[in-house]
Structure 1
Amino acid sequence: MIRNITLLLTAAAVAHADPTPLFNGKDLTGWVGSGYEIIDDAIVCTPKGRNLMTEKQYSNYVLEFDFKLPPAGNNGVGIHYPGNGNPAYTGMEIQVLDNTAKKYEKLKDYQFHGSLYTLNAAKKGFLKPVGEWNHEKITVNGDKVTVELNGTVINEANLAELSKAHPKHQGVKRRSGHITFCGHGDRVSYKNITIDEIVKETPKPAAPAEEVTAEGSGFIKLYNGKDLTGWIHGAGDLEHWKPMGEVIHYDGKSRSKEKNLWSEKEFGDLVLYVDWRWAGPASKQLKRPLLDPATGETKLDENGKPILVLVDELDSGIYLRGNNRSQVNIWNWPGGSGEVYGYRTNKNHPQEVRAALTPKVKADNPVGEWNRMIITLKGDRLTVNLNGKTVIENAQLPGVPEKGRIALQHHGSELEFANIYIKEL
């Protein structure tokens, strides 16, 4: 029997790329939006200006720029913006504001210049007089956000802590997205805009447990660490399902008729041991249900309506015995990975069956970190252990085939797999 194993992650080294201009001083190449114009080598918000965002998404970086405020000027810098909704809530907005204006004298602390709107207040008193150019540096690195104004750090925030304090705020949970100027119709100006991306070494999976690799353990490698020998893939998919040393990297972009990666061999009763991690940002956000593990149903609010949570849509899974119904889901949903969606949502099955296939706890590590999943399927009984926690225990899969291939699922998300071992029972 395999003991619960907690995945230890290799610390990521950090390096800086060269600063890159985000604005060429002439036009809005690289930006998307309207209501902004170019005046004297600066981007200026017009009375119709709202959101102006970078075409590219960013994760960890140092953003520097000069800005000038008119009297009572109000704008903002959105970070981790997904490209839809209000940047202050679907992403996070760092205030750009003339604090001296009389109309703002009764603002809440988190509304003043340099504050993370609704989340974290900045120090006041470091803006230059209205009409003069200020210099600001915003550093975004994982959970840490720092705002420096004219040489003084005025805001330091820990997003993980803020996420716990503000559980309903969706943007504070994000770790990548567009950079956005958040216009409110005031003629705020920006120039000398540069970004210095912080390049983090790709995290490496931990070594597999000794009880898996030991001689006589009964485990065999399903991925040899070199190529896709033993796997079936669609035509042209070596560009997408790509062996990269100890990991298989999937870019989420297969265009084959069969986009999943299948084992050549069929398996019946087994223990499957696999590490996985999300290797790229989500392309969209969607509302997903908050599940009740006791029933397998969506939880309801005080008005009897389903509770849906806006999440970064990341999705994959592992097919067992050759079909997608008996799929152990890997995703970023509120209930966590390990769910067997094809059974949980099938109301032809008794509720106790569907409830047992709902994760008992969300055991996923933060997006970008490695997860270790141990799947045991014996007869029609399934147990799933994720990062040392049993999320599915001895749950029944009525009618599951006796034997079939394993598949790593395509669902449009970029991810990696490593340490894929299997023991037949």
Structure 2
Amino acid sequence: MNTRTNPIALGLLCLGLLFSCKQEPKDDTPWVSLFDGESFNGWTQLGGEANYTIRDNSVVGTTVSDTPNSFMTTDKMYGDFILELDYLVDSTMNSGIQIRSNSYPHYMDGRVHGYQIEIDPSDRAWSAGIYDEARRGWLNPMTSNPEAQKAFKQNDWNHYRIEAIGDTIKTWINDVPAAHLIDDKTSQGFIALQVHSIYGDNTEGTEIIWKNIKILTDSLSKYSRSTPIQPIITKNALGVDEAKKGWKMLWDGETTNGWRGARLDEFPEQGWEINDGVLTVLSSGGAESAAGGDIVTKELYGDFELMVDFKITEGANSGIKYYVDTDINKGPGSSIGLEYQILDDERHPDAKLGNHDGSRTISSLYDLIQADPNKHVNPIGEWNTAHIISKDGHVEHWLNGMKVLEYERGSEAYKKLVSESKYVQWPNFGESEKGHILLQDHGDKVSFKNIKIKPITKD
């Protein structure tokens, strides 16, 4: 028998052994698992009634007809983190990963809202894009990132990496850089696995499966990755869906374009400051219009929706007025119009004053109608969002996603309120078809940003 060794075969054998012994670099990241593979300990389902089960150490979400979006949410809240997970989704489904999301009684009766990292197996291919669930809609779609769109694997496992650090959110799909968003709307919230609602002819019982769900919350700068993707910056800018719905920026975040002093042809030379995308009325000791004075839009508006982010300082007083007429009340003081009150209710004496009890508190219709006392106000130094809707005489004031009052302009009830107030001296007060939008200088430091309006055309 020939026992002579073939040197070529021996070389190939050694080469094969070398490669088989070569190991992948060890991941020394101190990951923490969010799912134990056996139970939903640490998780709670919110929203709709989709089925969530556990199979093979994975979370399985199954669609159910005629139920809202469903969310399996972490009980723990997370601010800054790096999250990785794998998922396998039915080709007909739409889903997502919620991050920094919340559910509050005051916000749409507890509706889950916040950033969603999209899972989109459709031809649109926006997987790993960033959507703002139950708020602004699309913030970072994948329209300008074809490489990320091609990275999704149909009918196979996909891997996501999500970094949320400070005001920056970055995503990767199968190690391909996808989204890069700079947005400071929400700094903390739960993580959730979404099963999207289905209606009509959509097939019930389709599945999405998640596994290897792990998170890192410490030493993030050490493990954070850079990305070549240019960031989308949302401050003082419209989202994709907002633009489609007819919203327009009322302030560009950089200049005084579109605004003037309420008693001036141009913007005040003092009393107001623009810095880092924030418009601030400076303190002048609490004397109304003592420095720069109120500012108004150069354009007039009829029916509209208006949204403004505002931040107050301790003891501050200000307001957002609408249907303002700058041609009346020629004397000193603010121009006259309906006012969405901005106030530090805890410290300013006006909170206990007013023609009607509580009608000078934050988000009230100043001196006429008190806002819901159960409203949610963010603490001093944090941003709040005012939302005013005026259509066909019906007006609503919203604060941080909660409707706090509504009334009918020109109704008998409205006219009675006016007749009992200081506004009685101005005929047909607040009933103009059009007017300016006004930001008030009441002598206290108050800041504004993300000022946007959607004019409503008559049907």
TM-score bracket, shorter-length normalisation: 0.3 to 0.5
> TM-score, normalised to structure 2's length?
0.39
Identify, as 1 or 2, the structure richer in strand: 1
Report the TM-score when normalising by structure 1.
Answer: 0.42
Query: Based on CA coordinates, which of the two structures has the bigger radius of gyration?
Result: 2
